[in-house]
Amino acid sequence: MKLVTCCSFKGGAGKTTALMGLCSALAAGAKTVALLEADENRPLIRWRENALANESWDEQCDVFVADEMELLEQAYEEAESRGFDYALADTHGGSSELNNTIIASSDFLIVPTMLTPLDMDEALATYRYIIELLMGENLSVPTAVLRQRVPVGRMTVSQKSVMDMLSALPLFDPSMHERDAYAAMKERGMLHMTLQHMLANPAMRLHQRNHQAAMEELGQMRNFVEHALEG
Ligand SMILES: Nc1ncnc2c1ncn2[C@@H]1O[C@H](COP(=O)(O)OP(=O)(O)OP(=O)(O)O)[C@@H](O)[C@H]1O
Ligand SMILES: [Mg+2]
């Protein structure tokens, strides 16, 4: 089982959304996914409830509450013994023993950031924190910054300069754009299943294209992660 974690010091950086998207893309690729809920607000538990109500939860995936050390250990062990291909951990903002343990145990780390100067500063601080933590433990875990909520249309001058500055860091090649399809995932459920329902319903034609573009983007993210984990 490979553990992939989203972390950022800043709240609202797009951690949970990136994780939901990656989960959907992995499940669409026939992978089994254990979601480790390390955020006490429990957005993933709510996600599953909403998804089940919309028949948009993929049964190859399960959510494990892991917002305390003991629960995290139990969740990880259970997920491993059930043979999940991937565990995806959603952390809360800031530093804590729980976050440190998850970071140090991960096989791949994702630091999502939006393209404002403030968000970039926080992403740099998170990145530096991760590197120092790993060096202190003599570990090396591939870590990539994910540009989140990139405008689909033209970027502002400020957004462009943040893009340029971020390119000094190891980057996720594909980025996530600002899309209604992503914002709606927490209410609707897994994107690949929502898309399947849409394809079966002619009245939803207009929404299909947006969802298809989002799903393609998530497929690229999944390929990037799978490739990084193979290498
Ligand atoms: N690519 C995107 N396109 C559109 N909306 C997005 C996108 N990514 C995130 N959002 C929206 O931005 C808000 C914050 O995202 P999210 O909850 O994923 O951030 P977070 O880092 O997990 O926040 P927290 O620190 O509270 O856990 C949510 O309402 C989400 O729907
Ligand atoms: Mg979150």
Q: Which residues line ligand 1 (CB under 6 A)?
A: 8, 11-17, 39, 93, 148-149, 176, 178-179, 182-183, 186
Could you tell me the distance, in angstroms and rounded to a whole number, from the CA of residue 178 to the centre of ligand 1?
A: 10
Average pLDDT in the 58-69 region? 97
Residue 24 has pLDDT above 90, yes or no: yes
Contact 162, 188 (CB under 8 A): no
Query: Is 206 a residue whose pLDDT tops 80?
Result: no
Tokens of 27: 């499940």
Domain boundaries of the chain, sorted by first residue: 2-226
Amino acid present at 154: R
Ligand 2 centroid, distance to 47 Cα (angstroms):
11
Q: Which long-range contacts (CB under 8 A, 24 or more apart) does 11-15 make?
A: 11/93, 13/93, 13/112, 13/113, 13/114, 13/119, 13/122, 13/123, 13/148, 14/112, 14/113, 14/114, 14/146, 14/148, 14/149, 14/176, 15/90, 15/91, 15/110, 15/112
pLDDT at 207 over 80: no
pTM for the structure as a whole: 0.97
pLDDT of residue 205: 77
For 2-226, CATH gives: 3.40.50.300
